[in-house]
Structure 1
């Protein structure tokens, strides 16, 4: 294991850690506390450690805070691998073991939440707790699904087949990575439009300029779904906090929250007036919830 300090456009110095011969970017802030676990922040799809800027500064007053760019995103390497929850689970597990060197509370948004859940459920020795912020991930379909319209099914399969083609993926990626399209997407995901700054757009745009970024984007259409969330929740033994932005257009927060409670009723949850990324849209509220929850269960475990 090796770590190299590099300059960064963020206000917190960043490091590179070598994992499976690939450079992985991370940041660290705050001091370790003997009675408090460190926090590890995990971004969502298309984001990076930059998306936690508003959280790291505040949370590092009370905790040792780490944030990492998952393989394929941000400033981390983007090899032509098959990306999955299992891959990111192993990356996070090795990072905690080799770099942080003690069990951490993982906090993940969207895709990062799913990656964190994979680790906490399947590698519990590395985790002190789990915080999911509008977490992604598939549930097992329990009720019979209605039969789709045959014509719509054919068109859907045709479109999906086209998107699996490298040329189609490349063209779609070139479209969605435009700054104007990134901004329009964020305007759908955030309730408070004032939180959508030029800096935020640039933070998402910058990694897309990496020549290897299109192949990561393409993996969305080629990689099979990972383990189901309900299966992972049945394996979970760590404290669990859910934070939901109720205005998320990509998921019904109340309905999804009920599914989490069904399989892990001892969880704690909060619903906020925000969209898909409440940690960035209403950071003061999210930081306060995280701090209170971690300090409370840390005290109980003393």
Structure 2
């Protein structure tokens, strides 16, 4: 009987890859298999460290890769225009130049949206895509879908419709001011604010450890981190999710942390099914980051699904 490796809280050491003149940090674990490799992509403000519990178990069955998007984690943080198209191209080039074969992409939140962009717009790179509480706007209801979870965190509370529209426009104006964005960045990067934010979006508060807070806080101290934060808020949204789903040819697995306060998963789920009726979907008792909160469940579901599609791709 095969023994499942215990969940580890120790990040796997990584390496750097040069992309468009910038240093990109990535992690590789496990050996090359007949089955497809996995590429794990973090959400807004996170990094490869956020996948440490998944890498520890999945590496027994897969060649596993994780990457820090440009502007996050240990990757470079140059002053430039950040967008879903930029990160899509980063992941596509990484798959082509480093992994060297089509891959199953799995992403959380902003990382999920970026993985969907790759699978839909660079289909030769993706054998499948796994979305964990994925961000991204739909065409039909742009007001309810945040481009990333941090913007959800700093939005005003829900108000009557007239006030909601007014406060939304006011927030957009405030975020458009460089000084206001800098002040906001200095606030949200404080460790106690990071902890409070995580405790709001994790159902299991014990999963919000000092290590997790430090892993999110540390990159915010890098040179250029404030400029990245400001640039992301000032750039337009990418392609709408419904358009991407209509372009998608590879299999899709949706893993929802049903207790996510940033996304109404029960309302968001049918939108994905409307445009991709053949997707596979599970709801887990977790918050915005199910891969970190209930890693054993996520790892088991991800493994079973990848093995099932490996027989047909």
TM bin, normalised by shorter chain, reads over 0.9
Determine the structure 2 residue equivalent to 1:192: 204
Determine the structure 2 residue equivalent to 1:130: 129
CA contact (8 A) 2:46 2:215 kept: yes
Determine the structure 1 residue equivalent to 2:51: 52
Distance change (3 Å), C-alpha of 1:64 and 1:157? same
Determine the structure 1 residue equivalent to 2:156: none
CA contact (8 A) 2:55 2:64 kept: yes
SS at match of 1:300: coil
| Superposition pairs of residues 1-302 of structure 1, within 5 angstroms | 11-34=11-34, 36-141=35-140, 148-149=161-162, 153-301=165-313
What whole-Å deviation, never above 9, does each CA across 1:27-48 have from its counterpart, x for those lacking one?
00000112x0000000000000
SS at match of 1:182: helix
What whole-Å deviation, never above 9, does each CA across 1:57-110 have from its counterpart, x for those lacking one?
100000000000000100001111111111100000000000000000000000
- TM-score, with structure 1 as normaliser: 0.93
Gaps of 5+ in 1: 1-8
CA contact (8 A) 2:107 2:134 kept: yes
CA contact (8 A) 2:175 2:234 kept: no
Supply the RMSD in Å over aligned alpha carbons. 1.8
Determine the structure 1 residue equivalent to 2:6: none
Shift of 1:221: 2.2
- TM-score, with structure 2 as normaliser: 0.89
Distance change (3 Å), C-alpha of 1:158 and 1:60? same
Distance change (3 Å), C-alpha of 1:272 and 1:162? same
Give the Cα separation in 2 of the matches to 1:109 and 1:125: 21
CA contact (8 A) 2:190 2:217 kept: yes
Determine the structure 2 residue equivalent to 1:3: none
Shift of 1:156: 3.4
Give the Cα separation in 1 of the matches to 2:10 and 2:297: 22
Moved more, 76-85 or 201-210: 76-85
Give the Cα separation in 1 of the matches to 2:169 and 2:264: 25
Give the Cα separation in 1 of the matches to 2:305 and 2:168: 43
